Structure 1
Amino acid sequence: MSTTRLLLLGVVRIFQPAYGYQLRRELLTWDVQQWANINPGSIYTGLRTLAKHGYLQELEEGDRPGRTSYKLTADGETEYFTLLRELLWNVDSFHPDRMQAALSFLWSLRRDEVLAALEARIVKLEQQQKAEPFAERQVLEDPGTPNHVVEMFRIVDARATGELEWTRAFHQRVTDGAYSFAGEPADWQPYPGMVTHWGEIPNPPTN
């Protein structure tokens, strides 16, 4: 749910105000149906749910009756950054889609925060590596647990090991100045007609 909510809020934030079909089309180019398990048809339902909870504002287009566009409310802006930081700072090896969603919007945070979060993730992943052999031993020593269960721990550990290697390399690239983050000149050119917050330092939401 956190992944879906961040993706919907984030894509609205990029294009706002934007209508549902535009947002659905954009998310499908990200292949969210593959890695985030988002049913394309549920995108419209998700947008309406976020509006119902006060995170999005629905705007009726005067020249197109019945056509609704969306933009973030102040609460939606707060929720966007809360979710982004939650998914960035916390490691969940059983849900790799959460970090992938956070990667989609890292540019809206400052570089120093991204570096700090990556350093924290490295520590947590290293801790998981240290703990994994003892989890295996517990399974193997428990006569009531089938031995094949240990492979569930091993596949999670393999993913975490790969993520640890990537995180260290990504941290070094960001340290060396790769990519653009909030408050920095953009390192790419948005396509014509794209409304984006790229390069802006986020201001605290106001009511």
Structure 2
Amino acid sequence: MSTTRLLLLGVVRIFQPAYGYQLRRELLTWNVQEWANINPGSIYTGLRTLAKHGYLQELEEGPGQRPGRTSYKLTADGDTEYFTLLREMLWTVDGFHPDRMQAALSFLWSLRRDEVLAALEARIVQLEQRNKAQPFSERQILEDPATPNHVVEMLRIVDARDRGELEWTRSFRDRIADGSYAFAGEPADWTPYPGMITLWGEIPSPPAD
């Protein structure tokens, strides 16, 4: 649910004010139905839920509007929630939910370069620690007569993902440190949607203590 929430808030933030069908169409070009397990039909429901919770503002077109003609934009609470979720997914490794980092990658440009680098360093440490703990987690399963031995393969597939992510994170960190890509407060390094240009120049507040 948190992945879906970040994706919806993030795409509204880019295109606001935007109609539900426009947001749905954009997210489907990102193939979210494949890697984020989002049912395309649930996007409208998700937008309405976020509006109900005060994260989005619904902008009505007036009497007689057709279904799907409600447009959305972020509220102040929605903007805060967006950065909270983005930072949570960027700074925290979750081996059982790789879609969270995938979602964070979609919006890293809205953070400053130094924060992204610090978060990647933190992820590297977490992944290294998980790798060191792996043999002991396996031993615990194999030595427990009440646990089927094949359960160890569930740990091993997560460990394989972790090791692959560790290699990628180190390379990604190095590319960013060398100046690749563009982040908040920097000139865009590609031609973004017009509404993103203003956002690119905004410097987000640092995370709360």
2:128 counterpart SS class: helix
Q: TM-score, normalised by structure 2?
A: 0.93
Q: What's the RMSD between the two structures over aligned residues?
A: 1.4
Q: Out of 98, 103, 115, which is 1:113 matched to?
A: 115
Distance 1:175 1:79 in 2: 28
Q: TM-score, normalised by structure 1?
A: 0.94
Deviation at 1:43, TM superposition (A): 0.2
Distance 2:149 2:86 in 1: 38
Deviation at 1:61, TM superposition (A): 2.4
Q: 2:89: which partner in 1?
A: 87
Q: 2:179: which partner in 1?
A: 177
1:121 counterpart SS class: helix
- Counterparts of 1:1-207 in structure 2 under 5 Å? 1-62=1-62, 65-66=65-66, 67-191=69-193, 194-196=194-196, 197-202=199-204
Percent of aligned pairs sharing the same letter: 84
1:46 counterpart SS class: helix
Stretches of 4+ aligned residues off by more than 4 angstroms? none
Distance 1:147 1:63 in 2: 64
Distance 2:135 2:117 in 1: 29
Distance 1:90 1:166 in 2: 16
Q: Which amino acid aligns with 2:30?
A: W
Deviation at 1:145, TM superposition (A): 1.2
Distance 1:203 1:86 in 2: 15
Q: How many residues align?
A: 202
Which residues of structure 1 form unaligned runs of 5+? Answer: none
Which residues of structure 2 form unaligned runs of 5+? Answer: none
Q: CA offsets, 1:125-178, max 9 Å, x none?
A: 000000000000111111111111111111000000000000000000000000
Q: Which amino acid aligns with 2:76?
A: A
